[in-house]
Structure 1
Amino acid sequence: MTQAAFFVLAALADQPRHGYGILREVEELSDGAVQLRVGTLYGVLDRLTADQLIVLDREEVQQGRLRRYYRLTDEGLRALTAEAERMAAGASAAKSRIAEGRRAPGPAVPPPATGPGLAGGIA
């Protein structure tokens, strides 16, 4: 699952949202790390709809413009949950490895060279 798809599903986890609302929610959920462009968002929405992870919830006219609201399906919730668990497991494994690396003795570092350098000169 792409990062964009993950955050779009996460944005729809609590309530249906329209395109602009999804863009804002994705940016907020990712602390600004993911800023989707409109074209990218609608490509992701099309793929998630085709995969039956989201569905069109309703359409409303606001100030003469049509707003489409999308919502997560049960399958979308399962996919989001599975991906969140996969990511958490990966983060946990990485944190464990980092902690192990900090406890392990580092490689022996040779003392700095003194005397002539590679070309026979003084370094």
Structure 2
Amino acid sequence: MPPPEMREPTFLLLTALAGGPQHGYALLTEIERLSNGRVRLKPGSLYGILDRLAEEGLIARHSEEVVDGRLRRSYALTPAGVQGLRVETERLRANVAAATRRLRTLARPQEATP
């Protein structure tokens, strides 16, 4: 049975981490950038997603450091996260290909019927 499809924020978060380990604030800004401003997560939502993905084994803590008196954690994709992102990318690619084929048929002039 194939894995369940990902929600867009999860897909964007994994996509952001495919560029390398990042901390929370960097992820917030990268997700917004990747979505052209459509997806703007609040910190509470982001950390909920990070916790869930860590529990699922798709990401892991990469490092922790104290910056300006606050703990900053960075996260990285695990091999399972890379595979999950690949699977979801292929699922989306297949959907786009199907839609593109259908749209091409709409663009063709309809043959006149006698």
Relative to the length of structure 1, the TM-score reads 0.83
Q: How does 1:30-41 map to 2 (within 5 A)?
A: 30-41=35-46
Q: In the alignment, what sits opposite 1:67?
A: 72
C-alpha distance in 2 between matches for 1:77 and 1:37: 24
- For the pair shown, the structure with the greater C-alpha radius of gyration is 1
Fraction of identical pairs, as percent: 46
Gaps of 5+ in 2: 1-5
C-alpha distance in 1 between matches for 2:66 and 2:51: 21
**Partner AA of 2:24 in structure 1:** G
Task: State the Cα RMSD in Å.
Answer: 1.7
State the secondary structure of the residue aligned to 1:41: helix
Runs of 4+ in 1 over 6 A off after TM superposition: none
> CA deviation digits over 1:28-68, x for unaligned, max 9?
11111111111111111011001000001110100111001
State the secondary structure of the residue aligned to 1:105: coil
Q: Among 31, 34, 38, which residue is 1:29 paired with?
A: 34
Shift of 1:104: 5.1
Shift of 1:105: 2.1
C-alpha distance in 2 between matches for 1:104 and 1:88: 27
Query: How many corresponding residue pairs?
Result: 108
Q: Which has the higher contact order (CA 8 A, sep 6+)?
A: 2
Instruction: Give 1 or 2: higher helix fraction.
Output: 2
Q: In the alignment, what sits opposite 2:96?
A: 91
Relative to the length of structure 2, the TM-score reads 0.89
Q: In the alignment, what sits opposite 1:76?
A: 81
